[in-house]
Amino acid sequence: MTFLEQANKDKNSNGGTYVLTVAIAFVALVVGQSFSELLANNFLGYSLANIPNSADLNIALALLLLPFSFLLLALILCIKFLHKRPVLSLFTTRKTFDWKRFVFAFLLWGSLMGIALIISILNEQDIVLQFDATKFIPLFFVSILIMPIQTTAEEVFFRGYLFQVFGKVLKKGWIAIILTGVLFGLLHWANPEVAKIGDILLVFYIGAGIFFGILTHMDDGLELGMGYHAVNNIFASIILTNSWQSFQTDALFIDNSPPTFGVELYLTLFILQPLLLFVFSKVYKWKDWKKKLFL
C-alpha cells in the first residue's frame, strides 16, 4: 500500500470525519495561538502581533512556534481515535519512521544552504556577522527543539493528512500534489514577507509545496520532506535572518539587502529542488514515475 493509500486503513472513514478532523486541527491551532498570546500578554507585557524591540526574541520565537504543537497533537489524536488507524500511517508506509532519511535530507539541504551563504558572503553581499553568544545559545536550543515541531505539524497536515484524503477521494497522485501545494502556498499569503516582496512570493511557496508533495508521494513517506523543511527553517532562524522582516532572530548573520524575489529563489525552485529530487530518486531507487503520478 502506497503512502497515498494509507487513508484506506481508516476504520471510521466518511466525509464528516474528514471535515471534523480539519475543523479540530484548525480549532487546536487557534487555541494554541490564544494560549501563546495569553502568556505573552500576562507574563511578558506585550502582544505577539507587536513584539517590542526590548523583548527577548528567543522567548517570543518559542511562543510563536508553540501553537503548532497543539495542531500536531490534534492531528495525531484524530487519526488514532476518530479515524482509528495507526498514527505511523500518517508519517510513512515503512514499519518504523526512517530517521536515516530524515537526517540525510536535513544534512544535504543544510549543506547546500551553507555553501550558498558562503558564496553570497564572498560576493560581498550585504550580509553582516552579528554573533552574540548570550543570545545565540538560547536561540540555538529553542530552534533545534521547537522548530521541528512547527515544520512537522505542517508536513503532517498538508503532505500527511490532506494528501491522503485527496488521494482517497480523487485517486490521482498528481492532483493531490498540486492541491496540497497550492493550499500550502496560499496559507503563507498572510506572511509579512509576502507584503514586502509581493504576491509573486506565493509562486515560491506553491512550488515548494509541490516539491514536498513529490517527495512524499515518490518516497512513500514524510521523512525526506520533514528533514528538508526542518533544516530550512532552522537555518533561517539560527544562521541567517534579514533586516526587513517583521520578526527577526539573533542569528549568526543578518542580511541587510532590500526585499526582492531574488536569484536565490529562482535557483532553489528551478535548479536545486529538481536536483534534490534527482539525487533522492537515485539514492532510494524511485521507479515508475509515470504510473505513480498519473495512473
Alpha carbon distance 235, 293 (integer Å): 31
pLDDT by position in tens, the chain (length 295): 899 999 888 887 778 899 999 999 999 999 999 999 999 999 999 999 889 988 999 999 999 999 999 999 999 999 999 999 999 999 999 999 999 999 999 999 999 999 999 999 998 778 999 999 999 999 999 999 999 999 999 999 999 999 999 998 988 999 999 999 999 999 888 787 888 888 899 999 999 999 999 999 999 999 999 999 999 999 999 999 988 876 789 999 999 988 888 888 999 999 999 999 999 999 999 988 988 888 6
Helix (H) or strand (E) holding 248, with range, is none
Contact in structure between 90 and 76 (CB atoms under 8 Å): yes
- Residue identified by cell 498572510 is 190
Contact in structure between 248 and 34 (CB atoms under 8 Å): no
- Three-point CA angle 47, 186, 40, nearest 5°: 10
Q: At what angle do helices 67-77 and 133-155 cross, to 10 degrees?
A: 30
Please give the residue range of the domain that contains residue 52.
Answer: 3-294
Specify the pTM. Answer: 0.95
Q: Which of 276, 266, 291, 288 is nearest to 201 (CA)?
A: 266
Contact in structure between 286 and 280 (CB atoms under 8 Å): yes
Can you list the positions of beta strands (E) in the chain?
Answer: 127-129, 240-242, 253-255
Number of domains comprising the chain: 1
Contact in structure between 228 and 294 (CB atoms under 8 Å): no
Alpha carbon distance 271, 249 (integer Å): 28
